[in-house]
Structure 1
Amino acid sequence: MHSAPTWDPHQYLRHSHHRTRPFTDLLHRIPELPAAALGRPARIADIGCGPGNVTALLADRWPDAHITGFDLSPEMLEQAEKHYAGTTPGGGWLDFRPADAAHWTPEEPYDLIVSNAALQWVPNHPESLPLWVDGLAPGGTLAFQVPGNFTSPSHALLGELCESPRWRHRVGGHGRRFVHILDPADYLTRLTDLGCETEAWETVYSQLLHGEDPVLDWVKGTALRPVLTALEGDDEAIAEFLDQYRDLLRKAYPPGPHGTVFPFRRIFAVARKPGGPRIPHARLP
């Protein structure tokens, strides 16, 4: 019995271009950190760092920072450590540690706590926002983005299939795990209530995917992981489930002349804690 999904970093990174775009958009909205005005390297935490590819982008923005990526998956951490751990080109330091985002507590003041497409796996994450804001240095920032497409056909069909008579005894409940995601206005209210200068928004990315059954290939790296983990060791059941889900996705997302359009809603929030040195509210261009 698996308590958490088994992750496949290589499958996840097959669509790294599309998966990275929301993080770069988030990164552009993060203000300068208090460390710069204080003349010291920034201290940054990446909650749910996955294979480390977006954690490395933080080092591009803050070259001398000490950045720690936290993740629960040994497979993801192994990939991150292999490719990104160590001294960065700007003289900073990048390391990775095991941690469950559901219980992660800042062990020191951070200039930035960031999370990219991870908190949807953490049902209690709205209750953790006060703790994470408390863990920021004065003037520090909490920034995250989460998928908000859980009523889209890709996820609705997955939930219906998991709850069907054929599968509910094996994977029931694994297709409807994300009802705890809040709307932008709710994140805005919660973070403003904590005293933060906050902005929250949503974006729908109309992604053009290519190849055979590209939407199925996409969800194999994310939403399907709990199902594949629950069926692990039963190759026949996995093949049957994937065949049924593939047929549903083909009807919902027919290919067009340039590929398959896959709309994907994302929800963003950036909250700056009060206090600290006066710094420009600058954005990346």
Structure 2
Amino acid sequence: MSDWRPGLYLKFADERTRPARDLLAQVPLQDPQSIYDLGCGPGNSTALLVERFPQASVTGIDNSPAMLDAARIACPSARFLDDDLTDWMPDWPPALLFSNAALQWVPGHLGVLERLAGTLGEGGVLAVQMPDNLMEPSHRLMQEVAEQGPWSETLRLASAARDPLPAPIVYYRRLKPLFSRLDIWHTTYNHPLQGAAGIVEWVKSTGLRPYLDPLTECERVAFLADYESRLAEAYPEDDRGTVLLRFPRLFLVGQR
């Protein structure tokens, strides 16, 4: 895939940061010394960690050079490293491993979570939030367009769609033996956006990327036109042209 586009991602900075705030509010630590922000993106979640724990050593991990450049500007007091979460390991037992909307992109992320949990120090916390929205119209429709358009074979070979998240009980059974306490919950956000075009802008920087990247420019234009027309039917506008984008997210917080 092409590199991430921080400016496009941050068009909805408040909405994208809100789940990180909600996750951080449930972290049961007072004074952690070493914190890693896994999949830190443009540094919006890292800034929250620095603000709450100003005495901690905070390190952001991401494999997008563009996102890391933006993060270093947004949060100069933190350290940032270019690495892949698929096999990344901390140099020493951390107090907090924090990840906001990143691990859903990592193949076999349940195994990654198990490995990361094993690196925590005594009392350490793993706090994770992942979108759980593949059954929402916003994502079902992009898959429909991918399968029914003239680009279907291209996208099939590119494996554009990410895998759905397992059920909460799967996470609980795999991870509970590694923690003294494990909380898992869902929160559904409802984001007001300006019509179907607003939903397209929202997902362009995230869920649509694997679908659009393999296409030619002409194919992208046609894909987006088809997708937006289907969204307009699935998300009727109110008299002000507003739609609500329903967005479920899975949260888990485990403490060793």
Q: Deviations over 1:92-147 (max 9, x none)?
A: xx111111111111221100001000011012110112221121111010000000
Aligned residue among 222, 235, 249 for 1:266 = 249
* Equivalent residue letter for 2:19: P
Structure 2 residue corresponding to 1:59, chosen from 44, 50, 57: 50
Deviation at 1:23, TM superposition (A): 1.0
Equivalent positions of 1:1-285 (< 5 A) are 4-33=1-30, 36=31, 42-86=33-77, 94-172=78-156, 174-179=159-164, 181-210=165-194, 213-231=197-215, 234-257=216-239, 259-273=242-256
What residue ranges of structure 1 are gaps of 5+ in the alignment?
87-93, 274-285
What letter is aligned with 2:251?
F
1:282 alignment partner in structure 2 = none
Q: Following TM superposition, by how much is the alpha carbon of 1:165 offset from its aligned partner in structure 2, in angstroms?
A: 4.7
Aligned residues: 254
How many angstroms does 1:186 deviate by? Answer: 2.2
Aligned to 1:278: none
User: Once the two structures are superposed, what CA deviation does each residue of 1:149-193 show, in whole Å capped at 9, x if it has no partner?
Assistant: 1011111111121122511122226453122x1222322222212
Q: Distance in 2 between matches of 1:196 and 1:129?
A: 15
After TM superposition, give the deviation of residue 218 of structure 1 in Å: 0.6
Query: How many percent of aligned residue pairs carry the same amino acid?
Result: 39
Give the Å deviation of 1:85.
2.3
CA distances 1:194-221 after superposition (whole Å, capped 9, x unpaired):
2331100001112111366111111101
The structure with the largest helix share of the pair is 2
- Structure 1 length-normalised TM: 0.84
Aligned partners of 1:257, 1:27: CA distance in 2, in Å? 36
Q: Distance in 2 between matches of 1:60 and 1:158?
A: 37
TM-score (norm 2): 0.94
State the secondary structure of the residue aligned to 2:121: strand
Q: Distance in 1 between matches of 2:190 and 2:113?
A: 30
Question: Is 2:190–2:244's contact at 8 Å kept on the other side of the alignment?
Answer: yes
Q: Structure 2 regions of 5+ residues with no counterpart?
A: none
CA contact 1:175–1:223 (8 Å) conserved in 2: no
- Letter of the 1:75 partner, please give it: A
Report the Cα distance in structure 2 between the residues aligned to 1:66 and 1:158, rounded to whole angstroms.
40
Aligned-CA RMSD value = 1.6
Q: CA deviation at 1:55?
A: 0.7
8 Å Cα contact 1:9-1:79 kept in structure 2: yes
For 1:264 and 1:195, the matched residues in 2 are separated by: 28
CA shift, 1:20, in A, is: 1.1
Offset of residue 236 of structure 1: 1.5
